[in-house]
Amino acid sequence: MITLRPYQIEGLTAIWNYFQNGGKGNPVIAWPTGTGKSIIPATFIMEIMKIWPNQRFLIITHVKELIKQNYDLMMELWPNAPAGIYSAGLKQKDIAFPIIFGGIQSMIKNPAQFGHRDIIIIDEAHLVSSNESSQYLTFIATMKIINPYLKVIGMSATPFRMGMGYITENGVFTDIVHDITGLDKFNQLIDDGYICPLVPKRTKTELDVSNVGIQNNEFKANELQAAVDVDRITEAALKEIIHYGADRKSWLIFASGIEHAEHIADMLDTFGVEAAAIHSKKPMEFNDKSIEEFKNFEIQAIVNYGKLTTGFNHPAIDLIGMLRPTLSVPLWIQMLGRGTRPYPNKENCLVLDFARNTPRLGPINDPIIPRKKGEKGGDAPVKICENCGAYNHARVRFCCDCGNEFEFQTKIIKSAGTEELIKIDKPVFETFDVQYVIYSKKQSRKDGKPYIRVTYFTGIQAFNENVFPEHKGLPRHNFKNWWKQRHKTEPPDFTDDALRFNSELRCPRKIVVHVNKKYPEVLSCEW
């Protein structure tokens, strides 16, 4: 029997509420890697089929490991589930079952054979392109011809795409209904023991990509490999890995190309470290065998290129050697996510960032959200500990690795050509671009009355605002004004009635926030 975690219950409830409250789009669940996204299709489908047994589902992803993982969990929860698998990699092509777990590469060849489907659930939803000719959108378009009322639910640890912003801003998905990937919620997951902390460390050896060209928002593959696949650099990096990895069990190393992966594995062998390289040019059987040996602790290190960024689950990984520079935030987060799963006696996962991805893209719990084309980006919110060299979030007081206390840096604002130190009691107001908004029902501890928690996601952080439809006096007055800015109807008298309109409410373009309060306050909106 699987006991759902609090945030898993919240996520499932968010999907139910979305559709029950009149949501007409396609929602997304955003959870960090290792937090149990597989529970979503298994539990959600099981509950639906108890009420509507004739519903038909497809659960689609892109790698066979995730297909099997999602299917196995479904069968664990519901041993008699009418479910099958459609995947060439898993050598199964079931069609007739009401519930089918499949791979997009196999299913796209003949979408119509799956017949009428009511709901499609897509794992790793950030891979769904906005290009109408892409595999996913082509498949969905075909299925909508059969059933125009088809709904699509997405799951992802990285709900954004390079050069496109959040996946809800274009393409098939419309609403992020539950997001725990932000800084505060991510850290809470660590505190609760659901995920393992990462310790990104600046290394003495650094990969130089200053002369590597960029194409389609990423380093050019051939130029990147040529720049970093240098024996003296590889040797220096591996000596650091061996030094820091002396008391660590399982090393996962990301290379910048196929030849680079082979060179790293060969050099590790000469240093007396059991290692294997896996990539697309090796037979599937060889890659599978190497992964199995790694999981059984028969080899200490596995070096990969393009194979273990998603769908790979080995909780014991406690060291990541990052020898793959990237400009892709989703790829960076997915690679880091291989180390976030808890494991007995695993205190953290050390990330040796030879690629300098951390200062370029940010930490896993507060990355730089990819900007739309033409938008300017900001600096990654990180600082380096002078004592141990670990990368830390800019907001922390103590180093995540050695515990060193950082010196307080006074914030400076420029106004009218002058610089003025901010006093503790002087209010600071900042304006943030709003990416999307989530509305959730809460209950007052004081009087037990329900109210609405409005969460504005700004790309950097999230800010909360509470509105009170059922309270009297000033709270009710403020709610009426808030509602009139967002909807043409009269303000509802009850929280549940208000939440039914959540998909119709106007989303502000910007918010002004009083940021230096204990709890930052949303003061106004710009439309």
Helices (H) and strands (E) in the chain, counts: 14, 28
Q: What is the CATH superfamily name and number for domain 196-393?
A: P-loop containing nucleotide triphosphate hydrolases (3.40.50.300)
Contacts of 419 (CB under 8 A, 6+ apart): 412, 413
What's the pLDDT at 425?
44
Residue 63's nearest CA partner among 261, 283, 307 is 307
pLDDT at residue 371, rounded to an integer: 58
Q: Which helix (H) or strand (E) holds 148?
A: none
* Continuous segment of H or E residues that includes residue 436: strand 436-443
pLDDT beneath 70, residues of the chain: 1, 162-164, 311, 369-381, 394-398, 400-401, 405-427, 445-446, 460, 518
Report how far residue 333's alpha carbon sits from residue 247's, in angstroms, rounded to the nearest whole number.
25
Helix (H, G, I), strand (E, B) or coil at 407: coil
Confirm if 519 and 475 have CB atoms less than 8 A apart.
no
Per-residue burial over 498-509, b if 16 or more Cβ lie within 10 Å, else e, is bbebbbebeebe
Give CATH for domain 6-188: 3.40.50.300
Residue 216 three-state SS: coil
At 114-141, the pLDDT tens digits run 999 999 999 988 888 777 778 899 999 9
**Residue-level pLDDT at 422:** 32
- Cβ contacts of residue 327 below 8 Å, gap of 6+? 162, 214, 217, 218, 219, 360, 361
The C-alpha atoms of residue 99 and residue 120 are separated, in whole angstroms, by 10
Domain boundaries, the chain: 6-188, 196-393, 429-526
Alpha carbon distance 317, 307 (integer Å): 16
Coil, helix or strand at residue 151: strand
Give the pLDDT confidence score for residue 498 in this predicted structure: 93
The dihedral through the CA atoms of 195, 196, 202, 203 has a sign that is: negative
Buried-state track 1-19, b at ≥16 Cβ within 10 A, e below 16: eeeeeebbeebbebbebbe
The tens digit of pLDDT for each residue in 460-505 reads 578 889 999 998 877 888 899 899 999 999 999 999 999 999 889 9
CA dihedral angle for residue 329, residue 335, residue 341, residue 346, rounded to 10 degrees = -120
pLDDT at 415: 36
Distance separating alpha carbons of residues 33 and 276, to the nearest angstrom? 24
Quote the pLDDT of residue 297: 94
Q: Rounded distance, CA 491 to CA 155, Å? A: 33
Whole-model pTM: value is: 0.70
Which stretch of DSSP H or E encloses residue 355?
none
Tell me what pLDDT residue 421 has. 32
What pLDDT is attached to residue 1?
62
Q: Quote the pLDDT of residue 401.
A: 67
Q: Where are the alpha helices (DSSP H) in 209-352?
A: 221-228, 231-244, 258-270, 284-295, 329-336
Q: What is the pLDDT at residue 300?
A: 94
- Token reading at 248: 């660590």
Strands 27-30 and 92-93: unpaired
**The pairing of beta strand 214-215 with beta strand 218-219:** antiparallel
